[in-house]
Amino acid sequence: MGKYIKFFIVGIFFGIVLVKSEAVSWYRIFEMFKFQSFHMYGIIGTAVGTGIVILLLSKKQKIKTTEGTTLIVPLKDRGFTRYILGGTIFGLGWALSGACPGPMYILIGTGAFSIIIVIAAALLGTYVYGLLKDKLPH
Amino acid sequence: MDYILQPWPWYVSGPCIAIVMFLLLYFGRTFGMSSNLRTMCAIGGAGKHVKFFNYDWKSHKWNLVVVLGAIVGGFIAHFLLSNPIDMDLSEATVKDLSALGFNNVGQSLLPLELFSWDAVLSIKGLSILIVGGFLVGFGTRYAGGCTSGHAITGLSSLQLPSLIAVIGFFLGGLIMIHLIFPILF
């Protein structure tokens, strides 16, 4: 159990940040896709900007993980179709439900229990993807 | 303390999310929330029928612990670290949502028109949540990641597939809000 505590703490921090930044709010997602506020773009932009710097620095410093391995980001397979089609399908759902997979879980903690219906439907969507995977263009 | 109780500005929140990504990489894992949906399907026994779910999900248990933490974090932030104030949404957003029939815009994290039990128990309300959730689950697995895996981790590591996926996220979001919402609401 001890080895999981650090992941629990990171999760708590993640949940707090996404609630305090209001990124879990359906309204903020609507506002973002309407280009009516810089807020969400600021969050994603500074997250990516900071992320680029941190990853470059850790590569340069040859930082090791706590497991003793070299710190690397897993590479996504090359491709186009799955990313643009899958991405668009996710985007449709993101704007409609106002929640991507992180916020879905976090919203349970804020007492918004009806989000559990969205999570159940997301599990079904994931299952159906697994069923159809070999028939879809990737 | 007052700074913590107020909503956090984007320039604090964004770097904090990058720290979450870094910590998970530093622990020898990676930042990806949607893969938990696959893990949960596998735990539910989906691997007996569908090959995609027949994998070593036990090695992904750590990520479910992140989810548990995130739920607790959501509770802490919402009930212990927040002053009850309206969200500071743009005036244009409030106006547009009012025109679509939304009231009390920004007085809670989620609109009552979609997430209150009254709404959930209506055919339209229930359909919206189910279709929205289904598309998120299907789309993220098809694209191999969501906002955390592609937009944050993938873009931070300058990966082209993630850029294509993020363009897709926005394509889908813009179609939904600008073309489909006016029909739905």
Take residue B27 and report the two structure tokens written for it.
């622990």
User: Which of the four pLDDT bands, split at 50, 70 and 90, describes residue A125?
Assistant: very high
Count CB atoms within 10 A of the CB of residue A78. Answer: 9
Q: How many beta-carbon pairs under 8 angstroms link A with B?
A: 508
**B contacts of A62 (beta carbons < 8 Å):** none
Rounded to the nearest angstrom, the gap between the alpha carbon of residue B61 and the centroid of all alpha carbons in its chain is: 20
Alpha-carbon gap: A61 to the closest alpha carbon of chain B (Å) = 13
* pLDDT tens digits, one per residue of A7-29: 999 999 999 999 999 999 999 99
Alpha-carbon gap: A2 to the closest alpha carbon of chain B (Å) = 11
Domain parsing of chain B, residue ranges: 1-85
Q: Calculate ∠ Cα A3-A4-A10, nearest 5°.
A: 120
Q: What is the DSSP string of B86-117?
A: -----HHHHHHHHHTT--STTSSSS-HHHHSH
DSSP β-bridge partners for residue A70: A64
What would the mean pLDDT of B118-138 be, rounded to a whole number?
97
pTM here is 0.97
Question: A87-100 in b/e burial notation, b at 16+ Cβ within 10 A?
Answer: bbbbbbbbbbbbbb
3-state secondary structure (DSSP) of residue B121 = coil
ipTM: 0.96
pLDDT value of residue B84: 78
Quick one: closest CA in A to B170, which residue? A91
Give the 3-state DSSP-derived string for chain A, with helices as H, strands as E and coil as C. CHHHHHHHHHHHHHHHHHHHCCCCCHHHHHHHHCCCCCHHHHHHHHHHHHHHHHHHHHHHCCCECCCCCECCCCCCCCCCHHHHHHHHHHHHHHHHHCCCHHHHHHHHHCCCCCHHHHHHHHHHHHHHHHHHHHHCCC
Average pLDDT, chain B: 96
* pLDDT tens digits, one per residue of A67-79: 999 999 999 999 9
**B contacts of A20 (beta carbons < 8 Å):** 4, 7-8, 13, 77, 81-82
What would the mean pLDDT of B93-109 be, rounded to a whole number?
95
pLDDT value of residue B166: 98
End-to-end CA separation in angstroms for chain B? 40
Take residue A115 and report the two structure tokens written for it.
């989000």
pLDDT value of residue B1: 76
Q: Fill in the amino acid letter for A120.
A: A
pLDDT value of residue B30: 97
* pLDDT tens digits, one per residue of A89-112: 999 999 999 999 999 999 999 999
User: What is the distance between the alpha carbons of residues B173 and B169, in angstroms, rounded to a whole number?
Assistant: 6
**A contacts of B147 (beta carbons < 8 Å):** 44, 94, 100-102
pLDDT value of residue B86: 86
